Amino acid sequence: MSSTEPEHEHREEEAEVHEDEDTGAQVAPIVRLEEVAVTTGEEDEDAVLDLKSKLYRFDKDGKQWKERGAGTVKLLKHKQTGKVRLVMRQSKTLKICANHLISSGMSVQEHSGNEKSCLWHATDFSDGELKDELFCIRFASIENCKTFMEKFTEIAESQQVGKESTEGDEAAGLLENLSVEDKKSEEKAKAKEEEESPAKEKKEKEVEKKTEVSTGSD
């Protein structure tokens, strides 16, 4: 009987430690951040198309396709100017993958051998400067790809001819604001991670302390 009693007491101590770990106590964050209104740069625009997809760009130096990201591609029409731009953000980070105006003379064509994909050339501003890019976009279905191509072509044909000379400057002005707002969104996400980090570390230290107490009692 005497040999089994210490084991019984030891099991009771372990049970108490585990019960303490499962209390579900919440640790309040040390730093509290005020809520800041974040704009997307799309407040003055209406979405005429919104589809999930994966985007690629052609690397001229490496002569190969490189993935830009998976997310939602939008065709946004400005409420005052009537201009339409294509914007795509990565689904998790919200980083801009593509950001350019759709102008007269632009065309989109189906990717050879893949009815779910299509290609087009554009003067893109997603990296903060105007660059000529060849994009390829892939959708989950043939129907979505056709819908995108039809809407893209319809918009390009509806744009007024004769404004190509000023389009570069207009694109830089219209699209630069979105890049600034995108950086603000990324900074807010980073600040949120920093806010949660101290609370997480404190909780981990409490668990380690309880583990040491349990080991010492052995």
Residue 87: its pLDDT value, please?
Answer: 96
Task: Give tens-digit pLDDT for 152-208.
Answer: 999 999 987 545 444 455 555 556 655 555 555 555 555 555 555 555 565 565 655
Q: Looking at the predicted structure, is the pLDDT value of residue 71 above 80?
A: yes
Provide the mean pLDDT of the chain.
77
DSSP string, 117-177: EEEEEEEE-TTSS-EEEEEEEEESSHHHHHHHHHHHHHHHHHSPTT-HHHHHHHHHHHHHH
CATH number of the domain at 52, please. Answer: 2.30.29.30
Q: Which of 96, 78, 81 is nearest to 163 (CA)?
A: 81
Q: Decide if 107 is inside a domain.
A: yes
Domain that holds residue 82: 48-159
Residue 181: its pLDDT value, please?
Answer: 55
Q: Decide if 14 is inside a domain.
A: no
Specify whether the CB–CB gap between 73 and 100 falls below 8 A. no
Residue 98: its pLDDT value, please?
Answer: 97
**Higher pLDDT pick, 203 / 63:** 63
Assessment of whether the complete model's pTM goes beyond 0.75: no
Q: Which helix (H) or strand (E) holds 47?
A: strand 45-59
Q: Centre a 10 Å sphere on the Cβ of residue 75 and count the other Cβ atoms it contains.
A: 21
Q: Decide if 170 is inside a domain.
A: no
Q: Decide if 135 is inside a domain.
A: yes
Residue 30: its pLDDT value, please?
Answer: 73
Q: Decide if 171 is inside a domain.
A: no
Q: Decide if 77 is inside a domain.
A: yes
Q: Decide if 196 is inside a domain.
A: no
Q: Centre a 10 Å sphere on the Cβ of residue 83 and count the other Cβ atoms it contains.
A: 20
Q: Which of 74, 72, 65 is nearest to 90 (CA)?
A: 72
What is the total count of domains within the chain? 1
Residue 204: its pLDDT value, please?
Answer: 62
Q: Decide if 89 is inside a domain.
A: yes
